[in-house]
Amino acid sequence: MTTPHPPKVAGISPLAPAPAHTSAPAVPTPATAPETAPAAPSASAVSPAPPAPCTLVQDRLAGWVSDLTTLHELTERLARTADLDDALREVLRAGASLVGAGRGLVTLHGDGDAGHPVTVALGLGRADLGHIETIPHGHGQDHGEDHDPGSAAPGSYVRLLDDLPPVGDRSGTAHPDIPGEDDLDPRHREVAARLGYAASYAVPLESPASSPNTESNPPPAAGRIGAAVWLYDEPAEPTRRQRHLAGLYCGYATEHLARLLELTHARETVAALYEELLPTRLPRVPGVRLAVRHRPGPRGGGDWYDALPLPEGALGLAIGGITGSGPEAVAAVGRLRASLRAYAVMEGEDPVAVLSDLELLLRVTEPTRAATALFAYCEPAERKVVVAGAGHCSPLIIGPGRAEYVETSLSAPLGMLACWEAPSVDIAPEPGETLLFYSDGLLHRTGDTMDRAFTRLHSAAASVPRAARTDPDAIADHVLRTVLPEDASPADGEDVILLVAHFT
């Protein structure tokens, strides 16, 4: 006879059957009956032995260990993400595996002026998100009832997240059978049928309840920062165990996402400040046309450039970098660039004097930093350029008959020696030739050694199409496309700057 299987516990494997050596109790016989062996009971009279209490405990412990192991693996994967979009996609993938769904989306609302809502989808395209956004507010309510705005994800424009539970309740909201729900908005059923999902489960991204405020246990400050919703292709609903695991995971994910949100907002602020410190527009000087390309690094690097008109139709071009990254480096860049502008106006005809003054200022105001710089004093009408460099990469000159690096003197960066001085170099560009100034981040982002990076940059400059050699913007775009691979990523937070000066 086949022993029936006991029910599952917490979705784990079924309980083990009763041990084989457990025998049925003996059937008592009358005292007058002859001492003979009792007849074996019929199969219908024997009931299966109940599972031993220790087996139930072992299965429950096994289920808890399995759940803890799953949460540990998923939270470890989330903790390794350092980018907000990557973290959101990881939350979607982990939540889909926990609740047994195939698709979903997550949205984070902006905090005040911190930015617009951020939405990332799993298995949904842009058009699908557009359809979801057309679902009216309060789709989970009757049309005659007022929708409670406090239950929605603040700042959310994704209508699937409108009927979340109130703040403090992380249990989530399920719609197990969207086509069969009579009180659901017809537009929601229409969108669900168009996109091919029949059930949904939404969970708020909310940190756990605050603990007592002590020095050793400060309360979390994330609160509710958004929500996630997962979609089922067939009518379904997560079990109580799945809801519990999803709530635990989303509580941890909220803290991680809140940190990344704060970091992203800080980086955007630094990047905006950085852009304001650099020239907002390039000057127009007869005889020369300018173009610039700037790709900032992820942490706000210390590279900078400048182009300023000087007396008597001259032009000053500068490019350089300062050690470090972040807000401190950005502030140092602002001070360095402002000082160079003043020195260029006073003694721009002598680039060596400009960099010498800059080096003295750097040692006094930024004693812990070093900087590279290159300054060029251009007289377009005279076809004359005087260049001095302090530890910076030599510029490139390209034209119909040549593509070569300018041989500037080898010198140390500013702030590295007790007294900096190096000779300048005179360049006489012909009409139609172009000077390329660039930051070392352009070379580093190639991923090659410096020798190969210089070779790649030279090949890119030499291969500029003939039709594009009179357009500095086209030259800059061609060089960047050729030098940087498509999957090039910022290296150590460095910026990429390419300053192009075409002499007409």
Per-residue model confidence as pLDDT tens digits over 102-161: 999 998 875 544 456 788 999 999 899 888 888 876 544 443 344 444 444 444 445 566
Residues 106 and 243 in one domain: yes
pLDDT band of residue 166 (cuts 50, 70, 90) is confident
Pick the residue with more confidence: 473 or 410? Answer: 473
48 located within any domain? no
Say whether pLDDT at 189 is over 50.
yes
Please tell me the predicted confidence (pLDDT) of residue 146.
42
pTM: 0.62
Residues 146 and 237 in one domain: yes
Placement of tokens 């220790």 in the chain: 54
Say whether pLDDT at 475 is over 90.
yes
Per-residue model confidence as pLDDT tens digits over 237-266: 999 999 999 999 998 999 999 999 888 888
Main-chain dihedrals φ then ψ at residue 339, nearest 5 degrees: -70, -40
d(Cα 399, Cα 438) in Å, to the nearest integer? 17
Please tell me the predicted confidence (pLDDT) of residue 16.
39
Element (H, E) at 310: strand 303-310
Q: What is the CATH number of the domain that holds 344?
A: 3.60.40.10
User: Six-digit token pair at 309?
Assistant: 């008109």
Through-space distance between the first and last CA atoms of the chain, rounded to whole angstroms: 99
Say whether pLDDT at 366 is over 80.
yes
Residues 296 and 194 in one domain: no
**Helical H runs in 381-471?**
440-444, 450-462
Residues 439 and 373 in one domain: yes
Residues 103 and 172 in one domain: yes
Say whether pLDDT at 65 is over 60.
yes
Residues 358 and 236 in one domain: no
Residues 316 and 203 in one domain: no
d(Cα 361, Cα 205) in Å, to the nearest integer? 50
d(Cα 99, Cα 102) in Å, to the nearest integer? 9
pLDDT band of residue 223 (cuts 50, 70, 90) is confident
Burial 150-180 (b: 16+ CB within 10 A, else e): ebbbbbbebbbbbbbeeeeebebbbbeebee
**CB of 87 closer than 8 Å to CB of 260:** yes
299 located within any domain? yes
72 located within any domain? yes
pLDDT band of residue 222 (cuts 50, 70, 90) is low
Residue from 423, 267, 277, 446 nearest 350 by CA: 423
Residues 6+ apart with CB under 8 A from 52: 18, 19
Residue from 234, 230, 225, 224 nearest 245 by CA: 230
- Please state whether beta strands 384-390 and 371-379 pair in parallel, antiparallel, or not at all (unpaired): antiparallel
Across the chain, mean pLDDT equals 80
Residues 282 and 245 in one domain: no
69 located within any domain? yes
Q: How far is CA 157 from CA 135, 153, 361, in A?
A: 10, 9, 52
- Domain around 187: 57-209+221-264
13 located within any domain? no
d(Cα 148, Cα 142) in Å, to the nearest integer? 12
361 located within any domain? yes
Residues 253 and 297 in one domain: no
Please tell me the predicted confidence (pLDDT) of residue 83.
87
427 located within any domain? yes
29 located within any domain? no
HSE-up (13 A, CA, CB side) for residue 71 = 19
Please tell me the predicted confidence (pLDDT) of residue 147.
42
Pick the residue with more confidence: 409 or 312? Answer: 312
Structural domains counted in the chain: 2
Say whether pLDDT at 46 is over 70.
no
